[in-house]
Amino acid sequence: MRNSQPESPVSSIGERLSGADPRASITQLFESMRPDLLRFAHWLARDRSLAEDIVQESLLRAWRSRDALKDQGAARAWLLTIVRREHARLYERKRLELVSLDEALESQAPAKAADPESDLFTLRNAIMRLPIEYREPLLLQVIGGFSTEEIARELALSSTAVLTRLFRARNKLRTFCGMSPVPDVSTSEAAP
């Protein structure tokens, strides 16, 4: 929930648990993933405060349905999926694309002068400016480590559509970074 207190649901639950409780290990596991989840949510939502809320809500959801997690090795992908869906829910409800991107980018301006790697700065802004339909599969691939097929399943798209979106995402980043775009590919974006 957007206005909930920013305490950790995992931590607060964890405080109630005894050390011997098997649930403590999953609490610890979730908590260890928090930085990755926050980074992923932050890139998705492009707003730190919103990202914190998304992760908070996602961890609550994950905790409630923790029995669905059969393999702890799959926890990272599972949690990233929950974060993505939580962001999508908020996005659908509140048109979160309206988050003031210009303000967010302007606030980074002081960092530009101090950052000798200005091309990375440009790229960071370019990724922030990518439309959500291109940014989302790119983040799932790069941060989440998802394969094309896994992204296709998650986004309910065909594999070809995912390849096309990933291609277009990088092609747009080429343009933003001053490189000439290559001609677009003529593939369809049909759902599976």
Partner 1 sequence: MSCEQVRLQIGADPGRSAPELEQHLQECEFCRQFRAEMRILDAKIRRVLDQPPVSAGMPRFTARWRPWALAASVLLAMVAVLGMWLLRPSDTLAREVVAHVQEEPESWLARQQVDAQSIDEALRGAGVKLGITSDRITYAQSCWFRGHYVPHLVVQTAQGPVTVMILRNQHVSARRAFQEQGMSGVIVPASQGSIAVLTQGGGANIDAVTAQLQQDVRWLPDAH
Contact pick of 55, 148, 152, 154 for partner 1 (by CB under 8 A): 148
Burial class of residue 88, CB neighbours in 10 A (0-12, 13-18, 19+)? middle
Among 20, 68, 70, 186, binds partner 1 (CB under 8 A): 186
Structure-token match 């974060």, residue found: 83
What is the spatial distance between Cα 64 and Cα 41, in angstroms, rounded to a whole number? 20
Torsion on CA atoms 139, 145, 150, 151, rounded to nearest 10 = 10
In the bound state with partner 1, the residue whose beta carbon lies nearer, of 11 and 72, is 11
Looking from the CA of 107 toward its CB, the CA atoms found within 13 Å total 8
CB count, 10 Å around CB of 157?
21
Q: Does 141 bind partner 1 (CB under 8 A)?
A: yes
Q: Determine the Cα–Cα distance for residues 121 and 177; give it in Å rounded to an integer.
A: 10
Among 33, 83, 96, 139, the residue binding partner 1 under the rule CB under 8 A is 139
Judged by beta carbon, residue 78 or residue 165, the one nearer partner 1 is 165
Is 170 an interacting residue with respect to partner 1 (CB under 8 A)? yes
Question: Are the C-beta atoms of residues 149 and 132 closer than 8 Å to each other?
Answer: no
Residue among 75, 88, 99, 128 that touches partner 1 (CB under 8 A): 128
Q: Which of 8, 13, 99, 171 binds partner 1 (CB under 8 A)?
A: 171
| Residue ranges in 26-85 that form contacts with partner 1 under rule CB under 8 A | 38-39, 42-43, 46, 48-49
Q: Which residues of the shown chain bind partner 1 in the complex (CB under 8 A)?
A: 3, 5-6, 38-39, 42-43, 46, 48-49, 92, 95, 104, 107-111, 119-120, 123-124, 127-129, 131-133, 138-139, 141-143, 148, 162-164, 166-168, 170-175, 177, 179, 181-190
